[in-house]
C-alpha cells in the first residue's frame, strides 16, 4: 500500500492508505535508498541520483527535510534550515521537500517569496519519497551519504540542538553517525 500524505495541522500528516502498484516499506538506517523522483518548482523531474551529483558530476550527500507552507513547526525551522544549507552547501545537497497533496509549485513559490525564504525546494505531491522513508510528520530530516545509504532519519532540530547537522558532519568526516534516529519534533 502507498501512503498519500495530507496535512492535518501542527506539523502532522495523516496517512490515507490507498492501494498502489509498488508497495514501499520504510527503509532502515544503513540501507541503500531506492531511487525516486521529485519535481523542482519549475517543473523539472529529478531523481535522487541526479540530486546527489554536484557541478562536476561527483556524488555528494543529500539532506532532505520534509516541509510544507502551511505547517506551524516548519516555520520554527525555516531560517535554521536555510542557514544549515548555506553553511554546508558546498559539500552536500540540501532541499526542503514538500510531499503534501494540496501544495502546488505556484503556492509554494508565492509562500517563499512572501516570507523572503530562499530554501532549495522540491515537490512530491504523490508522497512517494515520504513512503520510502516512512515519513508522517513535517520537519523530519533524512541524511543520505554520497553512496546512497540512509544514515539519519529524525527531527531537524530545535534551537540549541542540531541532530541533523551533527549527522551530516559525521557523514562528511567519514565517521559513524552517533544519533541515527532521534524523536520527531521540530
Write the pLDDT tens digit of every residue in 132-177.
998 888 888 999 999 999 999 998 877 678 899 999 999 999 999 9
Q: What is the mean pLDDT of the chain?
A: 82
Measured between alpha carbons, how far is 70 from 19 in angstroms, rounded to an integer? 27
How many Cβ atoms from other residues are within 10 Å of residue 1's Cβ?
Answer: 11
163-173 and 72-88 helices, crossing angle to 10°: 30
* Residue 164 Cα distances to 28, 75, 88, 158, 185, angstroms: 16, 17, 12, 10, 12
User: What per-residue confidence (pLDDT) applies to 73?
Assistant: 81
Going by C-alpha positions, the residue among 75, 93, 79, 97 that lies closest to residue 148 is 93
Measured between alpha carbons, how far is 16 from 3 in angstroms, rounded to an integer? 6
Mean pLDDT in residue range 104-124: 91
pTM: 0.83
List the domains of the chain with CATH numbers: 2-173 (3.40.30.10)
Q: Retrieve residue 169's grid coordinates.
A: 558532519
Going by C-alpha positions, the residue among 97, 132, 181 that lies closest to residue 27 is 132
Give 39-71 pLDDT, tens digit per residue. 999 999 999 999 999 888 899 999 999 988 888
Give 81-94 pLDDT, tens digit per residue. 888 888 888 899 99
Give 2-36 pLDDT, tens digit per residue. 333 333 333 333 333 333 434 457 899 999 999 89
Tell me if 152 sits within 8 A of 35, measured CB to CB: no
Amino acid at each position: 500500500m502507498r501512503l498519500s500524505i495530507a496535512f492535518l495541522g501542527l506539523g502532522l500528516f495523516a496517512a490515507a492508505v490507498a492501494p498502489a502498484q509498488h508497495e514501499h516499506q520504510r527503509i532502515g538506517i544503513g540501507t541503500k535508498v531506492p531511487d525516486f523522483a521529485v519535481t523542482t518548482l519549475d517543473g523539472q523531474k529529478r531523481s535522487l541520483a541526479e540530486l546527489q551529483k554536484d557541478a562536476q558530476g561527483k556524488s555528494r550527500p543529500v539532506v532532505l527535510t520534509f516541509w510544507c507552507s502551511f505547517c506551524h513547526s516548519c516555520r520554527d525551522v525555516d531560517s535554521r534550515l536555510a542557514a544549515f544549507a548555506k553553511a554546508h552547501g558546498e559539500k552536500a545537497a540540501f532541499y526542503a521537500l514538500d510531499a503534501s497533496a494540496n501544495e502546488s509549485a505556484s503556492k509554494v513559490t508565492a509562500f517563499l517569496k512572501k516570507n523572503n525564504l530562499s530554501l532549495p525546494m522540491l515537490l512530491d505531491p504523490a508522497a512517494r519519497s515520504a513512503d520510502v522513508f516512512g515519513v508522517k510528520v513535517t520537519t523530519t530530516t533524512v541524511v543520505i551519504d554520497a553512496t546512497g545509504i540512509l544514515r539519519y532519519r529524525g527531527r531537524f532540530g530545535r534551537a540549541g540542538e542540531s541532530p541533523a547537522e551533527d549527522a551530516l558532519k559525521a557523514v562528511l568526516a567519514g565517521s559513524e553517525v552517533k544519533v541515527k534516529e532521534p524523536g520527531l519534533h521540530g
